[in-house]
Amino acid sequence: MEWATVVGTALGALIGMGGTLFAERARWRRNLGEQERGELRTAYARYLDAATLARDAISLASRNVDLEPGERAELARSAIHDNAVYARQYELELVAPAEVVTKAREATKALGVYRDAVMAGATYETAECAGARRAFRGVRQSTMDAMRVTLDRAR
């Protein structure tokens, strides 16, 4: 009888420790998931902020018709660099899923097309400028949609 009690006690202890370890692992994974989602959310916000600030600078340059074309071009030229759009895109490439990275690259490219149109002399009211601006907005929205999907999936 003594032997059965010792085995039963040991088995109970093993089961208890296993349950505790399983619960701790589940809690660790949940915390890791929340941390990863937080990192994604931060990287997404930083990229979108940089892209929006650059877009605003390009838009401001395109509206400033009192400037000489060369001055307007210079204002637009530095918008992407000055707002660290490429740096934020590279940050995304380290942490984001491939579908978000692809969309962010498309948005950055569309932002460059918008900048280039203004640098070439297009102003806010011209069809070329308006088309480039709309194209960027559409790709940015598509990027944000992909970001939302990945954040929902990470829950």
* Integer Cα distance of 69 and 150 in angstroms: 42
Per-residue pLDDT band for 1 (boundaries 50, 70, 90) equals low
* 70-87: pLDDT as tens digits: 999 999 999 999 999 999
Per-residue pLDDT band for 26 (boundaries 50, 70, 90) equals low
Average pLDDT estimate for 45-52: 97
Taking phi over 0 as left and psi of -120 to 50 as alpha, with beta for the rest, 68 belongs to beta
Q: What's the pLDDT score for residue 5?
A: 77
Contact 105, 60 (CB under 8 A): no
Structure tokens at 90: 């590279």
Per the confidence metrics, is the pTM higher than 0.85? Answer: no
Q: Which residues, 6 or more positions from 82, have their beta carbon under 8 angstroms from its beta carbon?
A: 54, 57
Q: What percent of the chain has pLDDT over 70?
A: 81
